[in-house]
Structure 1
Amino acid sequence: MFVKDYMSTSPITIPVDTPVLEALNTMRKRKIHQLPVMNRGKLAGLITELELLTVTPSPASTLSVFEMNYLLSKMTVKDVLVKEPVTVEPSCTIEEAALKMREHGIRCLLVVEDDQLKGIITQTDVFDALIRIFGLHKAGVRLVLEMENKVGALADVLQVVKEYGLNVLGVACREKEDNTVQVMLRLRAAGVDDLINDLTARGIRVLYSN
């Protein structure tokens, strides 16, 4: 799963001389929280809703309406944009993109290749990708197994599943500190009672089935 498969390839952009209030109105109208900022066809930075709300006066401001309007009319996104936003290439994996967002505490990544803006990927896009990876959008049965963390453990489980002629829609693994591993399987099946009994007989604990 790569960023290029889930990014928005035609993100809404604004020029650097866009007034702050206009940028904020664009976000609210389009129901988005960030906008790439361009300068003569090149990426100049990123502006987010949070930055814009930070520079706009609060209702508790002592400024008059005329003073506020005057100040805001003079302020453009160039004054508050993030000049060096975190970027990734289209070939970046979804998990790497998620890690970058988590490490930097941000909600989106600009996708850049050869110094050209190719798209934008947001937290929502990453969630959509994970839903597809785990096969959650497809009907099936979800199993959570626990077994010894050893070479070939997952292969052994998948071999058993294959023997029952079941298609695997999604797989996820989580290592634990007690030398065990938990495996989530999503299978295209209506019932898996026989499979569960077989796995249990082989020493594989079935923690959850639905």
Structure 2
Amino acid sequence: MSVADYMSTHLVIASPQTTVSAAIALMKDNQIHRLPVLDGNRLVGLITQGIIGRALPSQATSLSVYETNYILTQTTVATIMEKHVQTIAATAQLEEAIYQMRQHQIGVLPVTRETRVVGIITNNDILEAFLNISGYGEPGIVCRVRVTHDRPGVIFAIGKVLAEHHLSIQTLMVVRDQQARVIELHIASDQAAPVTQVLTAAGFTVV
């Protein structure tokens, strides 16, 4: 699963000369929370609602709403944007995007192909990817096979047993459970009993 499979290619961008008030309007109109800042085709920064919020005058100041709005219309994105932006290649695996977000405690990565920004991936995109991979929302149930002694060919063996009995798998995930592995099979609801029966008969532990 590459980043390109789940990134958003609908890019809403700002330029360094974009005013903060215009950036706020762009985010509101497009129901987003951040904008890559491009100077031509070159990524030079990132502006987010959080950055703007921190840059606004404190409510404890004596500035009026009119004065605050005037500041926003005169201040450019370049003066407050984050200039050290983490990016990720479109060809990178989704796991790498998750790792970078966790390492840098961020929720968004502009996606590049060579030096050009071609998309953006957010933590919401990654959650959507997980739901897609796990088959969430599709009809069926999850059958869990616990493998305490992992060995090459386990997944092939499970697939072979099910195929011999004309039983199919909709999606498959492998997760860690302490020292064991749990293979989660998303299967049709009406196949739950026969899947459990044939896998148990073949020596697998179905939980």
Q: TM-score normalized by structure 2?
A: 0.88
Q: In structure 1, how many angstroms separate the alpha carbons of the residues matched to 2:31 and 2:10?
A: 15
Match of 1:159 in 2: 160
Aligned-residue offset at 1:117: 1.0
Contact 1:166 1:188 survives alignment (8 Å): no
Aligned-residue offset at 1:114: 2.1
Match of 1:174 in 2: 175
* Aligned amino acid, residue 172 of structure 2: V
Contact 1:147 1:203 survives alignment (8 Å): no
Q: In structure 2, how many angstroms separate the alpha carbons of the residues matched to 1:150 and 1:65?
A: 64
* Cα distance per residue 1:158-208 (max 9 Å; x no partner): 22222222222221112233x32111111245232122123234443322x
Contact 2:161 2:202 survives alignment (8 Å): no
Task: Give the match's secondary structure for 2:170.
Answer: strand
1:73 aligns with 2:73: yes
Contact 1:149 1:175 survives alignment (8 Å): no
Contact 1:111 1:121 survives alignment (8 Å): yes
Q: In structure 2, how many angstroms separate the alpha carbons of the residues matched to 1:202 and 1:168?
A: 17
* Cα distance per residue 1:103-156 (max 9 Å; x no partner): 222111111122111111122222222222222243223112212232133332
Q: In structure 2, how many angstroms separate the alpha carbons of the residues matched to 1:32 and 1:109?
A: 14
Q: In structure 2, how many angstroms separate the alpha carbons of the residues matched to 1:132 and 1:181?
A: 21
Q: 1:71 to 1:184 in 2, by over 3 A?
A: same
* Cα distance per residue 1:20-70 (max 9 Å; x no partner): 122112212211011011113322111111111111234443323344234
Match of 2:135 in 1: 135
Q: In structure 1, how many angstroms separate the alpha carbons of the residues matched to 2:41 and 2:180?
A: 53
Q: TM-score normalized by structure 1?
A: 0.87
* Aligned amino acid, residue 94 of structure 2: I
Q: In structure 2, how many angstroms separate the alpha carbons of the residues matched to 1:163 and 1:66?
A: 74
* Aligned amino acid, residue 159 of structure 2: L
Aligned-residue offset at 1:7: 1.6
1:1-210 superposed matches below 5 A: 1-151=1-151, 152-177=153-178, 179-188=179-188, 190-207=190-207
Contact 2:162 2:198 survives alignment (8 Å): no
Task: Give the match's secondary structure for 1:110.
Answer: strand
Q: In structure 2, how many angstroms separate the alpha carbons of the residues matched to 1:166 and 1:87?
A: 43
Q: 1:137 to 1:95 in 2, by over 3 A?
A: farther
Q: In structure 2, how many angstroms separate the alpha carbons of the residues matched to 1:128 and 1:167?
A: 24
* Worse overlay, 114-123 or 158-167: 158-167
Identity %: 31
Structure 2: unaligned runs, 5 residues or longer = none
Q: 1:82 to 1:48 in 2, by over 3 A?
A: same
Give the number of equivalent residue pairs. Answer: 206
Q: 1:163 to 1:192 in 2, by over 3 A?
A: farther
Root-mean-square deviation (Å): 2.1
Aligned-residue offset at 1:71: 3.0
Q: 1:101 to 1:173 in 2, by over 3 A?
A: same
